[in-house]
């Protein structure tokens, strides 16, 4: 079926479904939902804020009947354009699906609506000494539905895993409008296909998640934080390996390379040795006595690997000052160049030194400033290409560097994206990692579930190179 | 907050927002509404679209731009250092000079506020009529509306206009002391609604041994006009205030209003420069502005409430609300806390989200009382949860709004006090330490002479 623009009759039907206060096609509102955190703009034709699954179901049935694209949107904080309306159509937000339905303390689960902010759930369950581990850096402003759709990670993944590991069951509106229920509230359930896992990480192309049953764990009693630096990247990587084989699983194991350290130096309360080429931020959690012992063991491990600094924190304020090193990176690199292309490639943990070395070579060859930091514990490294969008030549060099980076990553047995998703940002490179037959299976699944291709079209494997032509640009002055 | 030299901020700076969404986690309006138009990121997107002539400055653009408390939380949280607060002000200015303001608002901001005499007369008329328009509400000194009024919501509690305005009573007052020469900048809220707070402030400043002056012809600081985009009006007011205070040869100028203080410190420099005032005169005024908390903190023991620190049932349990324009704008956070913590008989208990906006936002609370109420309810919830008997803050506007919220939520028993109210009241209980040249706490007697142009 050929997708069309939204006609006036269709718009009227949408108004009737969600109520005229909960949808808009005024130009101001279209510009408000034209972007996400990828910071590109594609204009939708209408925005709707439905109240529940049944309204979403009606909208999707209408979309199939009248032929218009529907793009689900949580908080619009994705970094790869997953919620951009690249083909126009309707933006469908989950902002009104914002209730924590219930926290079951005994079974350690929580039912939530998909528009609940991750950080709000974390705060709520922690009041009951429970813990929701998935903690992407956007946790305070991204939705759980969005986290699930993108299968978000974060810095606790090294010990606790990613969003997918905490989703037990889903209520989903299918592209054709049926409301389905996947998974089970039972800890163990192997009834039928694992549709929960299929939908988590499907980037809003296979269904609109409306409710989630999330697994919770007991809240760790204590946290021990450490900051350590090394004169060589190789030594930091050795420390990472030795930590992981020391029978201690850190809850955080973050890495920063020299360029990242140089960026944040001025922001920190503590002195970083000038010869530091790599920095590790490490945390362990558990019962207080155990945490203390583990910190002592990790100090030995790091010193043996050649650490020239080892700082621990015993108060929340001290912990914050250690984390400042990691949190200051974004504002610091904005001072070097106005724009960063934030990649999130992942490699097997032991390949991090090869990745960092390869990236340095790319940066030199393509003459692009690159800053690396990220989740060393799980091999997920944020490679940041710093560019000035006004400098067309630099932009072009950065795009070449990006292609080099993806080829390098795949050659190391890695993955294009550890936690941000493919969206439109990485779609042109997906072929590097996924072979033709595998990609074809994905296409067949999409076609089977969304025969009219109305839900979030032109994302991931469905990428069309010319969508950039639809992007809103400033008129020439 | 990164408030280094922002005078050059332009409207076009909105395009430096990378749309990450961090601002939404701290935005009080987004917390109440959760639509893109309410957060800074959305507003930056709209401002960018206007600057690129993709949309017009009419219709909902105006409404969305006005849906902001200007609390500065987004500005502080922004990982890319986008000066959202200044961009918002510039955008409102541009809108006001382009498509114009709503007629009533324009009348007030462009004409009434700038003309001190007329404005004073208008407020006086309001005072005469308030008995007719408001009915008393039990358990509070505030007023609730009797007849529908265009500006004030029906379920809102507002304080009575004072019988005697502050500047009327202390017009041109000068009290000689041995210490520095201190001028008092009252601000409209203190002047018209809370003159007793201003009076307490005079007493406390005098108690430090300082000379006190209340320059008589001081006018509104201009903040309502600035946030409404009427920059010209603010410029005129700034020049008037500069002229009035200059005559007194002061060492510092103290205000008890967080908003006035923030405006005088942050915006008067560029505004006076635009008005062609030479640098040295600007510096002679702007560099002397101090919030009352900064002044009292520096003054030290003279205004300390001595005695034993007590906890539990014996202590007066208070919690502190950080006014946005004091904590965030002026970075005055530690001083009020230190002043309260040093007081005998007072126990400071923590409050969740103590620096989250109360929802007042000046004229915002008039134009968007529904949102303002929701933001306020969250503040009230946090105050109640703290278990405090009184909430202390440092801005008359916050006091007005928080009191309204407490009454509306059935917690009128919780007192709302300015830091100076609390210190004055506690010092009043210890008269021996609070005796300055026969000064009575509840009324300044020691008027040594008048000075200035009055």
Q: Which residues of A touch B42 (CB under 8 A)?
A: 32
Q: What is the pLDDT of residues B11-35, one digit of tens each?
A: 778 888 999 999 999 999 999 999 9
CA atoms within 13 A on the CB side of A169: 18
d(CA A311, CA A299): 9
Q: Considering CB atoms only, which of B42, B49, B80 is closest to A334?
A: B80
**pLDDT above 90 for B332:** yes
Sign for the pseudo-dihedral over CA of A344, A348, A349, A352:
negative
CB contact under 8 Å between A27 and B80, yes or no, is no
CB-CB neighbours of A307 under 10 Å: 24
Q: What pLDDT is stored for residue B149 in this prediction?
A: 55
Chain B residues 245-284 within an 8 A CB cutoff of chain A: none
Nearest of A116, A119, A77 to residue A94 by alpha carbon:
A116
Smallest CA–CA distance, residue A33 to chain B, in Å, is: 7
CB contact under 8 Å between A140 and B25, yes or no, is yes
Q: Residue B4: which pLDDT band, with cuts at 50, 70 and 90? A: very low
CB contact under 8 Å between B52 and A474, yes or no, is yes
Residue A179 three-state SS: strand
| Per-residue CA distances from B66 to A238, A413, B89, B219 (Å) | 55, 52, 10, 25
Task: For B272, list phi and psi in degrees, rounded to 5.
Answer: -70, -35
CA atoms within 13 A on the CB side of B82: 29
What DSSP letter does each residue of B265-291 carry, written as one string?
HHTHHHHHHHTT--HHHHHHHHTTEEE
Q: What pLDDT is stored for residue A26 in this prediction?
A: 96
Instruction: Report the pLDDT averaged over residues A145-153.
Output: 97
d(CA A58, CA A62): 6
From A286-295, A351-360, B299-308, B377-386, the region with the lowest mean pLDDT? B299-308
Q: What pLDDT is stored for residue A24 in this prediction?
A: 97
d(CA B21, CA A36): 8
d(CA B399, CA B422): 13
Q: What is the pLDDT of residues B221-240, one digit of tens each?
A: 999 999 888 899 999 999 99
Instruction: Report the pLDDT averaged over residues B332-351.
Output: 93
| ipTM score of complex | 0.94
What DSSP letter does each residue of A362-411 carry, written as one string?
HHHHHT-EEEEEEEGGGTEEEEEEEE-TT-HHHHHHHHHHHHHHHHHHHH
Between B428 and A226, residue with greater pLDDT = A226
Q: Residue A454: which pLDDT band, with cuts at 50, 70 and 90? A: very high
d(CA A215, CA A160): 12
Q: What tokens does B52 get?
A: 């690129």
**pLDDT above 90 for B329:** yes
Residue with tokens 């354009």: A81
Smallest CA–CA distance, residue A231 to chain B, in Å, is: 29
Packed helices A233-244 and A352-366: angle between N→C axes, nearest 10 degrees: 150
Smallest CA–CA distance, residue A254 to chain B, in Å, is: 19
Residue with tokens 């409301």: A179
Q: Considering CB atoms only, which of A35, A140, A142 is closest to B19?
A: A35
Q: Residue A389: which pLDDT band, with cuts at 50, 70 and 90? A: confident
Q: What is the pLDDT of residues B393-413, one digit of tens each?
A: 999 999 999 999 999 999 999
Between B450 and A44, residue with greater pLDDT = A44
A37 touches chain B (CB under 8 A): yes
Q: Are A182 and A170 in contact (CB under 8 A)?
A: yes
Instruction: Report the pLDDT averaged over residues B320-324.
Output: 98
Q: What pLDDT is stored for residue B433 in this prediction?
A: 36
Q: Which residues of B touch A38 (CB under 8 A)?
A: 19
Task: For A282, list phi and psi in degrees, rounded to 5.
Answer: -120, 140
Of chain B, the percentage scoring pLDDT greater than 90 comes to: 57
Q: What tokens does B94 get?
A: 């541009």
Interchain CB contacts (distance < 8 Å): A and B:
78
Q: Are A48 and A14 in contact (CB under 8 A)?
A: yes
Q: Which residues of A touch B18 (CB under 8 A)?
A: 37, 39, 339
Q: What pLDDT is stored for residue A254 in this prediction?
A: 95
| Per-residue CA distances from B290 to A436, B173, B181, B340 (Å) | 69, 19, 13, 18
Between B309 and A449, residue with greater pLDDT = A449
Q: Are B144 and B130 in contact (CB under 8 A)?
A: no
Q: What pLDDT is stored for residue A224 in this prediction?
A: 96
Helices (H), A96-165: 118-126, 144-150, 157-160
Residue of A nearest to B42 (CA): A32
Cβ neighbours of residue A144 closer than 8 Å, sequence gap 6 or more:
A112, A114, A115, A116, A117, A118, A121, A212, A214
CB contact under 8 Å between B79 and A334, yes or no, is yes
Cβ neighbours of residue B288 closer than 8 Å, sequence gap 6 or more:
B183, B250, B251, B252, B253
Point out which residues pair with A254 in neighbouring strands.
Answer: A281, A375
Residue with tokens 């697994």: A215
Cβ neighbours of residue B375 closer than 8 Å, sequence gap 6 or more:
B28, B29, B31, B32, B69, B357, B358, B359
CA atoms within 13 A on the CB side of B367: 19
Instruction: Report the pLDDT averaged over residues A408-418.
Output: 97
Q: Which residues of B touch A119 (CB under 8 A)?
A: 25
CB contact under 8 Å between A334 and B53, yes or no, is no
Q: What is the pLDDT of residues B99-135, one digit of tens each?
A: 666 656 666 666 666 666 677 777 777 776 666 555 5
Q: Cα(first)–Cα(last) distance of chain A, in Å? A: 39
CA atoms within 13 A on the CB side of B86: 21
Cβ neighbours of residue B225 closer than 8 Å, sequence gap 6 or more:
B109, B110, B113, B114, B231, B233, B234, B237
From A150-159, A161-170, B151-160, the region with the lowest mean pLDDT? B151-160
**pLDDT above 90 for A429:** yes
Q: What pLDDT is stored for residue B445 in this prediction?
A: 36
Smallest CA–CA distance, residue A117 to chain B, in Å, is: 9
Q: What pLDDT is stored for residue A213 in this prediction?
A: 98
Point out which residues pair with A311 in neighbouring strands.
Answer: A227
Q: What pLDDT is stored for residue B160 in this prediction?
A: 81
Average pLDDT, chain A: 94
- B156-159 LR contacts (CB < 8 Å, sep 24+): B156/B369, B156/B404, B156/B408, B157/B403, B157/B404, B157/B407, B157/B408, B158/B134, B158/B400, B158/B404, B159/B193, B159/B194, B159/B400, B159/B403
Q: Are B388 and B349 in contact (CB under 8 A)?
A: yes
Q: What is the pLDDT of residues A311-321, one digit of tens each?
A: 999 888 899 88
Choosing among A141, A316, A342, A425, which should be mutated to test the B contact, i.e. which has the most B CBs within 10 A? A141
Instruction: Report the pLDDT averaged over residues B131-149.
Output: 54
Rg (CA), chain B: 21
Chain B residues 65-94 within an 8 A CB cutoff of chain A: 79-81
From A7-21, B107-121, B173-187, the region with the lowest mean pLDDT? B107-121
Instruction: Report the pLDDT averaged over residues A132-159.
Output: 96
Q: Are A37 and A4 in contact (CB under 8 A)?
A: no
Q: Which residues of B touch A474 (CB under 8 A)?
A: 52, 54
Instruction: Report the pLDDT averaged over residues B65-78.
Output: 94
Q: What is the pLDDT of residues B28-55, one digit of tens each?
A: 999 999 999 999 999 999 999 999 999 9
Q: Are B381 and B356 in contact (CB under 8 A)?
A: no
**pLDDT above 50 for B451:** no
CB contact under 8 Å between A32 and B37, yes or no, is yes
Residue with tokens 């009248």: A66
Choosing among B15, B19, B30, B31, which should be mutated to test the A contact, i.e. which has the most A CBs within 10 A? B19
Q: What pLDDT is stored for residue A193 in this prediction?
A: 97
Between A150 and B100, residue with greater pLDDT = A150
Pairing of the two strands A46-48 and B142-145: unpaired
Q: What tokens does A316 get?
A: 């929340």
Residue B76 three-state SS: helix
d(CA A89, CA B101): 34
Q: In what order do the strands lie in the sheet with A252-257?
A: A309-313, A222-230, A278-286, A252-257, A369-375, A380-387, A339-343
Q: Which residues of B touch A316 (CB under 8 A)?
A: none
Chain A residues 38-67 within an 8 A CB cutoff of chain B: 38-39, 49
B330: exposed, middle or buried (C-beta count within 10 Å: 0-12, 13-18, 19+)? buried
B24 touches chain A (CB under 8 A): yes
Residue of A nearest to B20 (CA): A37
Q: What pLDDT is stored for residue A351 in this prediction?
A: 92
Q: Which residues of B touch A117 (CB under 8 A)?
A: 25
**pLDDT above 50 for B443:** no
Residue with tokens 């990485």: A426
Smallest CA–CA distance, residue B364 to chain A, in Å, is: 21
Q: What tokens does A93 get?
A: 């937000």
Helices (H), B247-342: 258-266, 268-274, 279-286, 292-299, 329-330, 334-341
Q: Are B147 and B179 in contact (CB under 8 A)?
A: no
Residue with tokens 């004091």: B326
Q: What tokens does B29 get?
A: 């309006």
Q: Cα(first)–Cα(last) distance of chain B, in Å? A: 40
Residue with tokens 């915006």: B267
Residue B263 three-state SS: helix
d(CA B223, CA A380): 48
Instruction: Report the pLDDT averaged over residues B194-214.
Output: 90
């Amino acid at each position: 079926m050929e997708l069309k623009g939204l006609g006036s009759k269709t718009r009227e039907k949408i108004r009737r479904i969600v109520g005229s206060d909960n949808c808009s096609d005024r130009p101001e509102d279209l510009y408000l939902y034209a972007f996400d955190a990828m910071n590109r703009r594609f204009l939708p034709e209408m925005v709707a804020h439905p109240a529940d699954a049944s309204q979403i179901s009606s909208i999707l049935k209408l979309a199939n009947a009248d032929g218009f694209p529907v793009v689900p949107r949580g908080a619009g904080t994705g970094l790869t354009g997953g919620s951009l309306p690249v083909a126009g159509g309707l933006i469908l937000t989950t902002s009104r699906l914002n209730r924590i339905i219930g926290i079951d303390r005994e079974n350690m689960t929580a039912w939530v609506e998909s528009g609940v902010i991750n950080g709000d759930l974390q705060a709520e369950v922690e009041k009951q000494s429970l813990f929701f581990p998935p903690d992407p850096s956007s946790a305070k402003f991204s939705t759980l539905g969005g986290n699930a759709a993108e299968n978000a990670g974060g810095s606790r993944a090294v010990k606790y895993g990613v969003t997918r590991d905490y989703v037990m069951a889903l209520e989903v509106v299918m592209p054709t409008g049926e409301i389905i229920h996947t998974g089970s509230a039972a800890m163990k359930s192997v009834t039928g296909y694992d549709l929960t896992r299929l939908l988590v990480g499907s980037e809003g192309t296979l269904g609109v998640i409306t409710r989630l049953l999330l697994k919770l764990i007991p809240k760790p009693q204590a946290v021990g934080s450490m900051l350590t630096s090394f004169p060589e990247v190789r030594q930091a990587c050795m420390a990472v390996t030795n930590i992981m084989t020391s029978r201690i699983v850190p809850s955080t194991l973050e890495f920063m390379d020299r360029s990242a350290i140089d960026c944040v130096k001025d922001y920190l309360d503590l002195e970083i040795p000038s010869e530091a080429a790599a920095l590790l931020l490490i945390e362990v959690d558990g019962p207080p006595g155990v945490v203390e012992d583990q910190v002592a063991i990790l100090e030995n491990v790091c010193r043996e690997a050649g650490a020239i600094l080892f700082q621990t924190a015993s108060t929340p304020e001290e912990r914050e000052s250690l984390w400042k090193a990691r949190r200051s990176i974004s504002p610091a690199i904005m001072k070097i160049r106005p724009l960063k292309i934030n990649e999130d490639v992942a490699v097997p943990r032991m390949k991090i030194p090869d990745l960092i070395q390869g990236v340095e070579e790319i940066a030199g060859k393509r003459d692009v400033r690159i800053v690396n930091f990220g989740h060393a514990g799980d091999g997920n490294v944020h490679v940041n290409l710093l560019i000035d969008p006004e400098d067309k030549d630099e932009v072009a060099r950065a795009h070449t560097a990006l292609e080099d980076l993806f080829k390098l990553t795949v050659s190391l047995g890695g993955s294009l994206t550890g936690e941000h998703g493919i969206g439109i940002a990485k779609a042109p490179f997906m072929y590097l990692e996924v072979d033709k037959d595998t990609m074809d299976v994905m296409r067949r699944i999409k076609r089977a579930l969304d025969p009219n291709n109305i839900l979030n079209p032109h994302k991931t494997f469905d990428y069309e190179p010319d969508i950039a032509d639809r992007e809103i640009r400033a008129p020439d002055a | 907050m990164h408030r280094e030299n922002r005078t050059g901020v332009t409207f076009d700076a909105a395009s430096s927002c990378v749309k990450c969404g961090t601002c939404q986690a701290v935005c009080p309006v987004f917390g109440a509404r959760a639509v893109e138009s309410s957060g800074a990121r959305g507003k930056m997107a709209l401002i960018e679209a206007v600057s690129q002539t993709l949309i017009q400055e009419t219709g909902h653009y105006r409404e969305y731009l006005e849906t902001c408390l200007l609390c500065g939380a987004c500005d502080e949280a922004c990982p890319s250092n986008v000066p959202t607060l200044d961009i918002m002000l510039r955008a409102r200015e541009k809108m006001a000079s382009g498509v114009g303001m709503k007629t009533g608002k324009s009348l007030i901001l462009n004409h009434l506020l700038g003309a001190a005499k007329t404005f004073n007369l208008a407020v006086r008329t309001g005072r005469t009529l308030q008995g007719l328009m408001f009915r008393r509400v039990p358990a509070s000194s505030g007023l609730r509306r009797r007849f529908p009024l265009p500006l004030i919501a029906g379920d809102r509690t507002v304080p009575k206009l004072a019988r005697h305005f502050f500047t009327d009573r202390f017009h041109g007052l000068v009290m000689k002391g041995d210490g520095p020469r201190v001028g008092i900048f009252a601000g409209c809220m203190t002047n018209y609604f809370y003159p007793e707070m201003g009076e307490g402030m005079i007493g406390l400043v005098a108690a430090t041994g300082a000379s006190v002056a209340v320059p008589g012809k001081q006018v509104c600081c201009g903040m309502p006009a600035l946030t409404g985009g009427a920059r010209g009006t603010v410029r005129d007011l700034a020049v008037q205030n500069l002229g009035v205070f200059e005559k007194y040869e002061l060492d510092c100028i103290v205000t008890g209003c967080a908003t006035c203080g923030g405006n005088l410190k942050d915006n008067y420099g560029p505004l006076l420069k635009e008005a062609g005032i030479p640098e040295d005169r600007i510096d002679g005024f702007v560099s002397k502005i101090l919030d009352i908390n900064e002044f009292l903190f520096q003054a030290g023991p003279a205004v300390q409430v001595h005695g034993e620190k007590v906890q539990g049932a014996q202590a007066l349990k208070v919690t502190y609300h950080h006014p946005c324009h004091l904590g965030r704008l002026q970075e005055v956070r530690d001083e009020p806390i230190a002043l309260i913590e040093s007081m005998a008989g007072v126990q400071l208990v923590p409050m969740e989200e103590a620096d989250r906006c109360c929802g007042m936002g000046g004229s915002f609370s008039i134009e968007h009382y529904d949102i303002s109420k929701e933001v306020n309810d969250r503040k009230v919830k946090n105050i109640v949860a703290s278990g405090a008997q009184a909430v202390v803050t440092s801005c008359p506007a916050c006091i007005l709004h928080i009191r309204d919220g407490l009454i509306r939520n059935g917690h009128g028993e919780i007192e709302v006090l300015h830091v100076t109210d609390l210190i004055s009241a506690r010092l009043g209980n210890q008269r021996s330490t609070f005796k300055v040249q026969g000064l009575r706490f509840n009324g300044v007697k020691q008027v040594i002479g008048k000075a200035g142009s009055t």
